[in-house]
Amino acid sequence: MFDTRDYELLAHVQLGLPLCPRPYEAVGTALAMSEQEVLERLNRLKQQGLIKRLGVIVKHHRLGYRANAMIVWNVPEVLIKALGQRISQFSFVTLCYQRPKQPEWPYNLYCMIHGKDRQTVLAQLEQLNADCGIKHLECTVLFSLRCFKQRGALYQPIDKPVLAHGYY
Amino acid sequence: MLNALHTRLLNDFQRNFPLSPRPYLEIAEQLGVSEEAVLSALSDLSEHDYISRVGPIIPPNQLGVSTLVAMAIPPEQLQRVADQISARPEVNHNYEREHRFNLWFVLIASDAAHLQRVLDSIDEETGYQTLSLPLVDEFFIDLGFNLDLPHV
């Protein structure tokens, strides 16, 4: 489905398109690919879902969204899919995932809310819990404090494709 | 420093960036400004750290494997352990969070064996246990982030 050239292209563009009039041509020059081939491949990768979105990647923190909460719930397995889909529809939710429970960690549903301050985030969570009828579920809010390392997508050598997601 | 053009670029172009030979010109035409103005505004935003880049968001586990890792570290050792962990190329998004599990980061590796080696090696190097929480399902379709910035 994806070939080495796709990987090379993603590795190259994931750090950002050049800010010049013909950015795809510049990318192509670096990879010995025509501008048209770059565009065709990127179009296909987008259709195939390997590029989730293409555009301006903003820095929440710099734009005043300083309260970053990871919220976790302990949800019965049978409800998790429907609930995950429901939670994803709130405009203030930026991510929503299912992850496995562990002996020391009883939570299996995760969402992220980026807000301007804690009060706003907690009020949004209250609204979400009420609207979804899940106030009774075990739930924990983990606000972020220090950021030790943040890096966008990073793709390692081509023989060993490693791709990060540019999430949170 | 944000002017009307900056705001439009931040709000309205987080997705569907044009896949055409002159994407910045296309945006410029939509906004009624010159291509040069768009390029210069994006360059300002990048220089002042409002945006990290113009580029793709790639979903997890499409190429390579990733997991979210939590660790419970005594507060007085957190900075030291966090620095050890951040030094690894496989580590991304390493944050302190308010909880007994106070260190959270994403690990990305080429395959499951590589991922496990990194987890084992972190356990050994730090003397604390990693709690690995790999993705089971993703519900969200990332359409960008509504910044709620006023259109100046």
CATH number for the domain spanning B76: value is 3.30.70.3460
Q: Is-contact A74 A118, C-beta < 8 A?
A: no
* Residue A131 domain-assigned (yes or no): yes
Beta-carbon separation of A147 and B108 below 8 A: no
Mean pLDDT of A134-138: 95
Write out pLDDT tens, residues B123-137: 999 999 999 999 998
Nearest-CA distance from B126 to chain A in Å? 16
Task: Specify the DSSP element, H or E, that contains A71.
Answer: strand A67-73
Domain residue limits at A72: 67-143
Residue-by-residue DSSP string for A9-49: HHHHHTT---SSS-HHHHHHHHHT--HHHHHHHHHHHHHTT
Beta-carbon separation of A149 and B96 below 8 A: no
Mean pLDDT of A60-64: 80
Contacts with A105 from chain B: Cβ below 8 Å: 70, 101, 131, 133
Helices A23-31, A4-13: axis angle to 10 degrees equals 130
Q: Is B20 an interface residue toward A (CB < 8 Å)?
A: yes
pLDDT band at B109 (very low <50, low <70, confident <90, very high): confident
Supply the pLDDT for residue A155: 47
CA dihedral A10, A14, A18, A21 (to 10 degrees): 60
pLDDT band at A166 (very low <50, low <70, confident <90, very high): very low
Write out pLDDT tens, residues A84-111: 999 999 988 988 999 999 999 999 999 9
Give the residue from B25, B57, B84, B114 showing the smallest Cα distance to A153: B57
pTM, two decimal places: 0.80
Q: Is-contact B144 A57, C-beta < 8 A?
A: no
B86 and B38 within one domain: no
d(CA A132, CA A51): 31
Number of structural domains (chain B) is 2
Contacts with B39 from chain A: Cβ below 8 Å: 19-21
**Angle value at C-alpha A56, between A54 and A60, nearest 5 degrees:** 125
A43 and A72 within one domain: no
Supply the pLDDT for residue B141: 62
d(CA B99, CA B48): 32
Number of structural domains (chain A) is 2
Write out pLDDT tens, residues B65-106: 889 999 999 999 999 999 999 999 889 889 999 999 999 999
Domain residue limits at B40: 4-47
Give the residue from B14, B69, B64 showing the smallest Cα distance to A11: B64
Supply the pLDDT for residue B93: 87
A120 and A92 within one domain: yes
